[in-house]
Amino acid sequence: MEGITDEPQRQRFEQGYRLVAGCIPYRLKKGGSTPHAVVDNVRILMISSLNGHGLVFPKGGWEFDETVEDAACREAAEEAGVRGQIKEELGHWIFASKRHDMVCTKGNCKAYMFALEVTQELETWPEQEARRRQWVNAWREEEEFRMNSNLALSRSLSVHNCHRH
């Protein structure tokens, strides 16, 4: 695993967008039998951004030699040091990255996100010196984490898991 560096010639692009794959890693804590137990026991893994300001979900370039699901799993291992099982696609969104390259000069990205049930936390991983992991409860207040749109995605996963049980 390489981590941190991206090679534009290996990345997928579509209609001016850099295609990105990522995931919302989660785990369920054991215990509780109340209707809110599932929601209360969902923990979402977030990682520090490379600039150290705020928490983000693992995501990165989707390469030619992998499926979008494989790319999401690779990014989770490289950036967050976790492995797991993709449960389902949560959707995609368009965003403007601060990074620009010759193919995608405006930094526009299209990210495909997946729910990833974490089965293993790695002791070492490629980006461990650049990022810190933080398990959070998806229902804590936005001001407490200052996570902008990331919290909305976390909450949607919690609600999704709650309705499935």
Q: Which domains occur in the chain, in start order?
A: 8-164 (3.90.79.10)
Closest-CA residue to 15 (of 98, 99, 100, 94): 94
Q: How far apart are CA 80 and CA 127, in angstroms?
A: 7
Q: How far apart are CA 113 and CA 150, in angstroms?
A: 12
- pLDDT tens-digit series, residues 90-149: 988 888 876 655 445 566 889 999 999 999 999 999 999 999 999 988 666 444 444 444
Stretch (H or E) spanning 45: strand 42-48
